[in-house]
């Protein structure tokens, strides 16, 4: 028992908390309801899937840091493993969506609302992005719904055995995951763009402030401070102090501008990544 708890703790530390939660929830369900572990896993999986679908439809997408989708993803990982899920994706890439995906203006607005809710009231201006995001959402929701509505799903007591014997359901699940990947791709690219835009705003502000300091205020303050100095020791000390202050302000302003320039270049390069 202690060994299992330590193993679970280790898995949580490496980011597999949702997988551990699913395993423990299935064990508890099996114990309290007197069913096999396979039946318990299917019941918990169906519950996780139902909540993930509800959230997708309510929010117009999967919110960033979504607990519902993370719980569902953890159930998938625990049941099938990431390598097997990649094979599901390959199966899904080979089939056409088994229903028409016609997008309405309401669904486009829902996608826009989703982006604004997750990116500080910002949303893509490119309608193609919003359209594709909405299509991916509708495809994922429809395919997941087809799986749970299939009579074989309701009759099966072992989800792993069911998918192993049902290439079509396996492909539906894989295509649903590919659609979710497509939504994440749009969010990732847009998030990088938002970050770059904010960085450019910071660069513009830094350029204005640094230019004013380096070319205007610092030289003017320096000239004013040394203008009436006389050739004596106290004046020499004052001259040294003001000169050091002048160069310090120039270096600070230049460093600030260089930092924001470097940051802007880095975020621009980041937007070019896949």
Q: Would you say the C-alpha torsion 168, 174, 179, 182 has a positive or negative sign? A: negative
Residue 257 DSSP SS3: helix
Single out the residue in 128, 146, 180 at which a domain terminates.
Answer: 180
pLDDT higher than 90, residue 195 = no
Length of the chain: 274
Q: Tell me how many domains the chain contains.
A: 2
Q: What mean pLDDT, rounded, does the chain reach? A: 85
Single out the residue in 151, 180, 209 at which a domain terminates.
Answer: 180
Query: Are residues 135 and 55 part of one domain?
Result: yes
In a domain, 241, yes or no: yes
Query: Are residues 240 and 133 part of one domain?
Result: no
What is the rounded distance in angstroms from the CA atom of residue 201 to the CA atom of residue 197?
6
In a domain, 232, yes or no: yes
Single out the residue in 180, 214, 244 at which a domain terminates.
Answer: 180
| % residues pLDDT > 70 (the chain) | 76
What is the rounded distance in angstroms from the CA atom of residue 260 to the CA atom of residue 139?
41
In a domain, 29, yes or no: yes
How many Cα neighbours within 13 Å face the side chain of 82?
A: 3
Query: Are residues 249 and 116 part of one domain?
Result: no
Confidence of residue 197 (pLDDT cuts 50, 70, 90): confident
139 and 176 Cβ atoms separated by less than 8 Å: yes
198 and 123 Cβ atoms separated by less than 8 Å: no
Q: Which is nearest to 19 in space by CA: 66, 62, 76?
A: 76
Q: What is the pLDDT of residue 203?
A: 62
Q: What is the pLDDT of residue 12?
A: 87
Rg of the chain (C-alpha set):
29
In a domain, 188, yes or no: no
What is the rounded distance in angstroms from the CA atom of residue 89 to the CA atom of residue 206?
46
User: For 140-165, how does the pLDDT look when each residue is reduced to its tens digit (9 = 90+)?
Assistant: 999 999 999 999 999 999 999 999 99
Query: Are residues 258 and 122 part of one domain?
Result: no
Which residue segment(s) compose the domain that 228 sits in? 200-271
195-198: long-range contacts (C-beta < 8 A, 24 or more apart)?
195/267, 195/270, 196/264, 196/267, 196/268, 196/270, 196/271
Residue 130: Cβ-neighbour burial (10 angstroms; 0-12, 13-18, 19+): buried
User: For 24-51, how does the pLDDT look when each residue is reduced to its tens digit (9 = 90+)?
Assistant: 999 999 999 999 999 999 999 999 999 9
């Amino acid at each position: 028992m202690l060994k299992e708890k330590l193993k679970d703790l280790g898995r949580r530390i490496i980011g597999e908390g949702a997988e551990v939660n699913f395993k423990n929830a299935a064990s508890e369900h099996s114990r309290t309801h007197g069913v096999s572990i396979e039946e318990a896993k299917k019941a918990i999986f169906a519950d996780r899937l139902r909540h993930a679908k509800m959230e997708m439809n309510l929010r117009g997408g999967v919110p960033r840091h979504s607990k519902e989708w993370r719980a569902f993803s953890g159930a998938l990982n625990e049941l099938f493993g990431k390598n097997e899920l990649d094979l599901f994706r390959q199966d899904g890439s080979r089939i056409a969506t088994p229903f028409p995906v016609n997008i309405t203006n309401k669904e486009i607005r829902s996608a826009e609302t989703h982006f604004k809710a997750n990116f500080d009231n910002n949303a893509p201006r490119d309608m193609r992005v919003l359209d594709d995001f909405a299509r991916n959402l509708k495809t994922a929701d429809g395919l997941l719904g087809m799986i749970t509505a299939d009579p074989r799903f309701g009759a099966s007591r072992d989800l792993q055995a069911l998918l192993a014997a049902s290439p079509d359901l396996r492909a539906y699940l894989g295509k649903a995951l590919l659609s979710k990947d497509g939504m994440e791709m749009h969010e990732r690219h847009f998030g990088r763009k938002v970050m770059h835009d904010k960085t450019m705003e910071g660069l513009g502000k830094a350029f204005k402030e640094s230019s004013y300091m380096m070319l205007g205020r610092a030289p003017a303050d320096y000239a004013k401070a040394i203008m009436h100095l006389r050739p004596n020791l106290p004046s020499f000390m004052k001259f040294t102090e003001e000169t050091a202050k002048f160069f310090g302000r120039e270096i600070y302003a230049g460093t600030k501008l260089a930092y924001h320039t470097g940051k802007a270049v880095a975020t621009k390069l980041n937007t070019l990544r896949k």
